[in-house]
């Protein structure tokens, strides 16, 4: 299974907790990963931030999504003070019955001004 798409350049230093990042990966399980690309399962840690790895992600719309090989698409934009990403029309893994169903869309906007 593909872990996601990217990494994409943010276009400015983005401070996330104690670290500064310059790129982001849109993960197939509804997460954003700021550091080295890698898989994170949809059973995300209960608290965040973590002092142990993985500690460089945000579970934005956590579930089991299928981005590549479907009608799902990822769009991104950035300017001097913000970065935006849109995951559009991605099916979700439905355990009953097993298979990918539905069409889900979510968006994230990251601000350089206050790291929100």
H/E run at residue 89: strand 82-95
Q: Is residue 53 domain-resident?
A: no
Q: Is residue 90 domain-resident?
A: yes
Q: Would you place residue 1 in the very low, low, confident or very high pLDDT band (cuts 50, 70, 90)?
A: very low
| Residue 97 CA: distances (Å) to CA of 5, 71, 93, 101 | 27, 20, 9, 10
Q: Is residue 47 domain-resident?
A: no
Q: Is residue 49 domain-resident?
A: no
The per-residue pLDDT for range 84-102, each reduced to its tens digit, is 888 788 888 777 777 777 7
CA distance 60 to 9: 18
DSSP 65: B
Q: Which domain holds residue 13?
A: 4-37+58-111
Q: Is residue 32 domain-resident?
A: yes
Q: Is residue 79 domain-resident?
A: yes
Q: Is residue 44 domain-resident?
A: no
Q: What is the number of structural domains in the chain?
A: 1
Other Cβ atoms within 10 Å of 108 Cβ, number: 16
- Is residue 2 over pLDDT 50? no
Here the tokens at position 40 are: 């994170």
The predicted model scores a pTM of 0.71
Q: Is residue 80 domain-resident?
A: yes
The per-residue pLDDT for range 6-60, each reduced to its tens digit, is 788 888 988 888 788 898 887 777 778 887 666 666 566 666 666 666 677 787 7
């Amino acid at each position: 299974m593909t872990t996601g798409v990217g990494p994409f350049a943010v276009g400015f230093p983005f401070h996330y907790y104690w670290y500064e990042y310059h790129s982001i990966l849109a993960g197939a399980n509804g997460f954003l990963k700021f550091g080295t690309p890698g898989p994170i399962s949809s059973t995300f840690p209960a608290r965040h931030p973590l002092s142990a790895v993985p500690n460089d992600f945000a579970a934005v719309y956590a579930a089991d999504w299928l981005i590549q090989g479907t009608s799902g698409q990822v769009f991104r934009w950035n300017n001097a003070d913000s970065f935006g990403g849109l995951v559009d029309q991605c099916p979700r893994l439905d355990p009953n019955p097993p298979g990918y169903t539905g069409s889900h869309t979510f968006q994230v906007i990251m601000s350089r001004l206050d790291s929100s």
